[in-house]
Amino acid sequence: MTNKYANWERLASVIEWANMTTNYFALHIGLTRGENLYHIKRGNYGISHDLADRIVAAFPEIDRTWLLTGVGCMLKSEIQDNVLIPYYPMEAESYLPNFSQYDNKGHAHLPFACNCDIAIRSLSRAMAEPQCAATELFLKRVEVEDMVQGNEYVVITNKDVLWRKIRTVANDDTQWRLVARNREEYDDINIRKDDIKEAWRVIAKMAIMAS
């Protein structure tokens, strides 16, 4: 089932790439106001074909299929150039906060995740598939305020690095609830949004099975 909030993540990526505010972006593509886009942010609507056509007409660099479905890459040039993702064969939970201090050990290529920033390994059991020895995570760094419920993130605080799916906390918009896949062994964690230093969206993942 498609996550309705993922529509806003794609749209927000385009707005950020265009270096515009949401309202200015709306006017630039021919909308009278930005409220239509904020409805998408709230999860009320998806990206319509009309909106996609407006965006692609204003920004021909944007791939329409990706905009509507999330499959492929945001920029047509990324698809054409066969983008390679810097790969760090180290443990995300230990090294991700300071990964820029290390050299990547090659590149990974995943056609449907080519808009990622890095690929890195996770040994976390909280989100791993059964019988999985490790998981290769394909991550894209996002602004903390742009996180949306239902997606998986690696979040970094002063104390922890956690890969979890995020959910809202009832009657409290200052916190996220972090939910593990393996809920038998890992309890939900409530975390203040202000305590999150960095957020990395999990765009794709590949299981490394135990032998």
The band of 1, judged by pLDDT with boundaries at 50, 70 and 90, is very low
The residues near 166 (Cβ < 8 Å, ≥ 6 apart) are 147, 148, 149, 150, 151, 152, 153, 155, 176, 177, 178, 179
Dihedral, CA of residue 185, residue 188, residue 189 and residue 194, to nearest 10: 140
With contact defined as beta carbons under 8 Å apart, do 11 and 47 qualify? yes
Q: CA 124, 130, 136, 141 torsion: positive or negative?
A: negative
Indicate whether 3 pLDDT > 60.
no
The pLDDT tens digits of the residues spanning 127-186 come to 988 888 889 999 999 999 889 888 999 999 999 999 999 999 999 999 999 999 999 999
Domains 6-79 and 85-209 share a fold: no
The CATH code that applies to domain 6-79 is 1.10.260.40
Q: What pairing do the DSSP bridges indicate for beta strands 118-122 and 85-91?
A: parallel
With contact defined as beta carbons under 8 Å apart, do 117 and 195 qualify? no
Place of tokens 């996220």: 176
The ranges assigned to domains in the chain are: 6-79, 85-209
Task: Give the integer Cα–Cα distance in Å for 133 and 110.
Answer: 21
Task: Give the integer Cα–Cα distance in Å for 82 and 197.
Answer: 31
**Homologous superfamily (CATH) for 85-209:** Umud Fragment, subunit A (2.10.109.10)
What does pLDDT average to over the chain?
86
Task: Give the integer Cα–Cα distance in Å for 139 and 200.
Answer: 6
Structure tokens belonging to residue 201: 């969206």
Structure pTM? 0.65
The pLDDT tens digits of the residues spanning 141-150 come to 999 988 988 8
